């Protein structure tokens, strides 16, 4: 759920769901590249942790 939320918060390049859900966020913080950079970092870190958890569970539950 967190990963989906982080992806939807990203600034859209051509419209789509990110503009629909993140419209207020984009308009208030659109000029701040620091916010976008931190959101990128948080999304990547969350994705890496999610991937490691999936691999670890696959190895633990392997018969």
Q: Are the C-beta atoms of residues 26 and 17 closer than 8 Å to each other?
A: no
Give Dmax (Cα) for the chain.
52
Separation between Cα atoms, residue 37 and residue 10, nearest integer Å: 10
Judged against a pLDDT cut of 60, whether residue 17 lies above it is answered with: no
Q: Are the C-beta atoms of residues 50 and 6 closer than 8 Å to each other?
A: no
Q: What is the pTM of this model?
A: 0.63
Residue 38: what pLDDT? 87
Q: pLDDT (tens digit, 9 = 90+) per residue, 32-62?
A: 678 888 888 999 999 999 999 999 999 999 8
- Torsion, CA 7, CA 10, CA 14, CA 19, rounded to 10: 90
Judged against a pLDDT cut of 80, whether residue 63 lies above it is answered with: no
Separation between Cα atoms, residue 40 and residue 5, nearest integer Å: 12
Residue 35: what pLDDT? 81
């Amino acid at each position: 759920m967190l990963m989906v939320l982080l992806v939807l918060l990203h600034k859209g390049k051509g419209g789509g769901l990110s503009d629909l859900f993140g419209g207020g966020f984009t308009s208030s913080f659109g000029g701040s590249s620091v916010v976008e950079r931190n959101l990128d970092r948080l999304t990547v870190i969350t994705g890496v942790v999610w991937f490691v958890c999936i691999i670890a569970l696959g190895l633990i539950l392997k018969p």
